[in-house]
Amino acid sequence: MLLLNISRIQQLLSSDKGLFSIEFFSSNQIIGCLIWCVVFIYAVLMIFYRYGWKSLKKANALSNDLPKVSLIVSLRNEEHNISNLVNCIKNQSYAENKLEVICINDHSTDNTLELLLSEKNKWSKLNVVNLEEKERGKKMAIQKGVYLSTGEIIITTDADCVFNKEWINSMVKYFANPTTHLVAGPVEFEKEESFFYKLQDLEFLSLIGAGAASIGVNQPMYANGANLAYRRSTFLKVDPFDNSKSPSGDDVFLVHAIKSNYSKSIAFAKDHNAIVKTKSKKSLTSFFNQRKRWASKTIYYHDIFTLLIGSLVFLTNLVILFFLLGFIFSLFSPYISIIDFALPLLFLIFYKSCFDGFLLYSVLAFFKRKYLIKWLIPLQIIYPLYIISVSLLSVTFSFEWKQRLYKP
């Protein structure tokens, strides 16, 4: 069907009555085959990832010989989250004599530092460290925290996150395996009811699921710094931030560095007690700003598998976007048949939804959010334009993060 419609589209575009007077495709058969190859490989990837997700296992019980844990949090202008963060940490069931808490203040301009020092006066376990004038950004804060830490295991989270009392226990369990160097943890949004939230939630959980599935097939691509644990000795050895110019990426660059140095050394904590909750974005502006920041890191990637998968996802969505825009143009042009774009578009959306859903339904079941699956097709219509625009904007436009402006 795609081949037939591409042939028809070529005729329209190259005819005297078409939008263009030049031949758009050199060979419609070649273009059609390339499109089929892209969407077929994408489907195989989703099946492969479903296997990876299913292969993830829950860790065994925590051993009696507990390692010392250093919990590191980077903070900048987080005055509204301090109290909740400290209470969540205080409530952890992990042995307090085996826990070290280090909060790194990244030049906050609000009352973050004052509130941290107030909490420190009430709880001596809390260590507060200020970055020096020349030290800026989350990666620098995490790096300084690791250097100052004394724990065998480092755990990081964000100031706006909440977690249950078994969180540290559930992450540390995985290090009973001496070959495990890093554990990526599950992250979800706090529940809301808006349409914008539901699409965000579904898209975010698809990212978490794909990252976890890539770990399941021993080709880890990324993790989320809001819920991450690793061996201190490993971090010091791989020095993951040494050559990165990106302001963010404290998670993904560490994953890539460990992956390149240690085979089959990364685990995913597929455990409900390991789930960390964070907040979704409240506006389109803040949402796109965050996604531009995430996407801006890709130009510094060196991991071939991650680059290939990213390219495949980009091309798959580019194909859908082509037919989507063609369909929109056909609504206003008497020279273009709506059906020539509508049929391939409907087929591709249905096709991609089936294979995305094959993986995503299992991920949503783990997070107890299966109800979000009904929003998959609406997301498929929006997603191609979103992913292509974010990819292009991330390398051409600046973004704001923590009241700082960064240029690509």
Q: DSSP characters for 45-99? A: HHHHHHHHHHH-----PPPSSPPPEEEEEEESS-TTTHHHHHHHHHT--S-GGGE
> Mean pLDDT lowest for which of 23-37, 84-98, 116-130?
23-37
Homologous superfamily (CATH) of 59-300 is: Spore Coat Polysaccharide Biosynthesis Protein SpsA; Chain A (3.90.550.10)
pLDDT at residue 239 in the model: 85
Count Cα neighbours of 145 within 13 Å in the Cβ-side half-sphere. 30
Q: Is 138 helix (H, G, I), strand (E, B) or coil?
A: helix
Over residues 345-371, the pLDDT tens digits come to 999 999 999 999 999 999 999 999 999
Buried b (16+ CB within 10 A) or exposed e, 159-189: bbbbbbebbbbbbbbbbeeeebbbbbbbbbb
Q: Looking at the chain, which residues constitute the CATH 3.90.550.10 domain(s)?
A: 59-300
Percent of the chain beyond pLDDT 90? 75
Contact between residue 207 and residue 295 where contact means Cβ atoms under 8 Å apart: no
Residue spans of alpha helices (H) in 338-375: 338-366
The DSSP 8-state label assigned to residue 135 in this structure reads -
What is the edge-to-edge ordering of all strands in the sheet holding 162-163?
162-163, 276-278, 187-189
**Between 340 and 228, whose confidence is greater?**
228
Pick from 234, 233, 214: which is nearest to 222 by CA? 214
Name, in order, each residue with C-beta under 8 angstroms of 169's C-beta and a sequence gap of 6 or more: 62, 92, 93, 94, 273
Average pLDDT, the chain: 90
pLDDT at residue 8 in the model: 53
pLDDT above 70 for 25 = no
pLDDT at residue 16 in the model: 44
Over residues 210-267, the pLDDT tens digits come to 999 999 999 999 999 999 999 999 999 998 886 567 788 889 999 999 999 998 999 9
Contact between residue 231 and residue 154 where contact means Cβ atoms under 8 Å apart: yes
pLDDT at residue 5 in the model: 55
Over residues 373-404, the pLDDT tens digits come to 999 999 999 999 999 999 988 888 787 888 78
Over residues 34-91, the pLDDT tens digits come to 888 999 999 999 999 999 999 999 898 888 889 999 999 999 999 999 999 999 999 9
Contact between residue 73 and residue 45 where contact means Cβ atoms under 8 Å apart: no
Percent of the chain beyond pLDDT 70? 92
How would residue 13 be classed by pLDDT, with cut points 50, 70 and 90? very low
pLDDT at residue 21 in the model: 39
Q: DSSP characters for 8-47? A: HHHHHHHSTTSS-SS-S-S-HHHHHHHHHHHHHHHHHHHH
Mean pLDDT of 183-209: 95
Dihedral sign from CA coordinates of 165, 55, 217, 49: negative
Long-range Cβ contacts of 310-313 (<8 Å, 24+ apart):
312/38, 312/41, 312/42, 312/45, 313/42, 313/387
Q: DSSP characters for 203-236? A: HHHHHHHHHHHHHHTT------TTSEEEEHHHHH
pLDDT at residue 405 in the model: 77
How would residue 22 be classed by pLDDT, with cut points 50, 70 and 90? very low
